[in-house]
Copies of this chain bind each other. A is one copy, B any other.
Amino acid sequence: MRGAAPVNAPGARRRVAVLGATGAVGQAFVRLLAGHPWFELAELAASGRSAGRAYLEATRWIGDAPPAEVAGMTVLPADPEAVSADILFSALDASVAGEIEIAFASAGRMVLSNARNHRLDDDVPLVIPEVNPDHLALLDVQRERRGWPAGGGIVTNANCAAIVAVMALAPLHQRFGLRQLFIATMQAVSGAGYPGVASLDILGNVIPFIDGEEPKIERETAKLLGTLDGGRVVPAPIGISVHANRVPVEHGHTICISVGLERRASAADALDALREWRGAEAARGLPSAPSLPLRVSDEPDRPQPRRDVWSEGGMQVVIGRVRNDPVLDLRLVAMGHNVVRGAAGASVLNAELLMAHHAQRLARP
């Protein structure tokens, strides 16, 4: 699953820690960082009652089996005094993430966060490496404005559904300009964490509501596709209407999109744009980057979450049913792994991007 044009590995592996390591996304970080070529999973931390306990006792491990390296590890408090790594992956709950992440950043550490708290802060980059790696320049604004020491910063990844949608939309925006979007999501239960959605609520059912999700997708999409201008991101001026739904699927958000463009394009034009897209140069060859950011399926009934979600280890978004739209220009379906591409893998890729191209913004190893 690893990238085509390998980036030179930095020298020694860099020590990293996971904050909020016991939850569902925390576990995904642990799985993706175990054996990572550039990072050494050195510390696990959590807020609240888990600190001080053995990691595997404090954790209700929900996947097949935890990696060997965490077997003997103890959960540390999510506190810059207790955690020594200076690259941190945050899977903290939004109720605590805001302050804890700032505590780490103001102590000169770099936080790669999956939490929603700072995503829309003016000076916090919200990044998908293939789409808007240039937004990382906000790190300088951020450090200066907040008075953080060198090496301190917060980089966020977007909401899981926004990431999948934007991966599919970026090539169209770059080539034809997006004007209007109608988005209907069918989101997997793992997007709600663990225990998350009760089985009595979702077995054989659809829940046409996810609290706070629709505005998140609308705003984060506009920021991700926005333009860096004078130390801030100008959101892309796209009209966006979202319907967010929960469906009884384990992993994989499936997203139907009707697209209105600035410059007319047919389904064939769109297919060309999607097939040819390689994503930003800076993201190519990173250890967690897929060989191609998108796979376009020719099957009439794909993508499907159960069948396509693990495409390139879950880091590739799969597109299908690209067709003309009777009202706007195009319709299509995008599907991606909400926990990998849409959460933990997104932050790991962001960290790789920093390591490969922004080493000067990190603390000295």
* Chain A residues engaging chain B, CB cutoff 8 angstroms: 24, 62-64, 180-182, 184, 186, 189-190, 194-209, 211, 218, 239-241, 243, 245, 247-250, 254, 256, 258, 300-308, 310-311, 320-321, 325-328, 331, 333, 335
Q: Is B333 a contact of A243 with CB atoms below 8 Å?
A: yes
With contacts A64-B307, A64-B308 taken as known, whether A241 is within 8 angstroms of B331 at the C-beta atoms is yes
Give A256's nearest chain B residue, CB to CB: B243
Q: Can you sample 22 A-B contacts with CB below 8 Å?
A: A24-B200, A62-B201, A64-B311, A181-B327, A182-B182, A186-B245, A195-B198, A196-B198, A197-B198, A199-B199, A205-B249, A205-B304, A205-B305, A206-B305, A207-B304, A208-B301, A208-B302, A209-B301, A241-B258, A241-B328, A243-B256, A245-B254
Shortest CB-to-CB span from A311 to chain B, Å, is 8
With contacts A209-B321, A250-B306, A307-B63 taken as known, whether A200 is within 8 angstroms of B204 at the C-beta atoms is no
Q: Is A247 a contact of B186 with CB atoms below 8 Å?
A: yes
**With A and B bound together, what is the CA distance between A182 and B242 in angstroms?**
11
Give the dominant DSSP class at A's interface.
mixed
Q: Is B248 a contact of A204 with CB atoms below 8 Å?
A: yes
Set of chain B residues within 8 Å of A300, measured between Cβ atoms = 209, 211
Q: Is A200 a contact of B196 with CB atoms below 8 Å?
A: yes
With contacts A200-B24, A239-B327 taken as known, whether A247 is within 8 angstroms of B206 at the C-beta atoms is yes
Shortest CB-to-CB span from A30 to chain B, Å, is 16
Give A308's nearest chain B residue, CB to CB: B64
Set of chain B residues within 8 Å of A335, measured between Cβ atoms = 208
Shortest CB-to-CB span from A290 to chain B, Å, is 15
Set of chain B residues within 8 Å of A303, measured between Cβ atoms = 208
**With A and B bound together, what is the CA distance between A208 and B181 in angstroms?**
18
Set of chain B residues within 8 Å of A302, measured between Cβ atoms = 208
Shortest CB-to-CB span from A268 to chain B, Å, is 19
Q: Is B206 a contact of A240 with CB atoms below 8 Å?
A: no
Set of chain B residues within 8 Å of A218, measured between Cβ atoms = 326
Shortest CB-to-CB span from A330 to chain B, Å, is 10
Set of chain B residues within 8 Å of A211, measured between Cβ atoms = 300
Q: Is A206 a contact of B186 with CB atoms below 8 Å?
A: yes
Shortest CB-to-CB span from A55 to chain B, Å, is 16
Q: Is B245 a contact of A258 with CB atoms below 8 Å?
A: no
Other-chain residue from B239, B301, B307 in contact with A326 (beta carbon distance below 8 A): B239
Set of chain B residues within 8 Å of A195, measured between Cβ atoms = 195, 198, 200-201
Give A243's nearest chain B residue, CB to CB: B256
Q: Is B182 a contact of A248 with CB atoms below 8 Å?
A: no
Set of chain B residues within 8 Å of A181, measured between Cβ atoms = 327
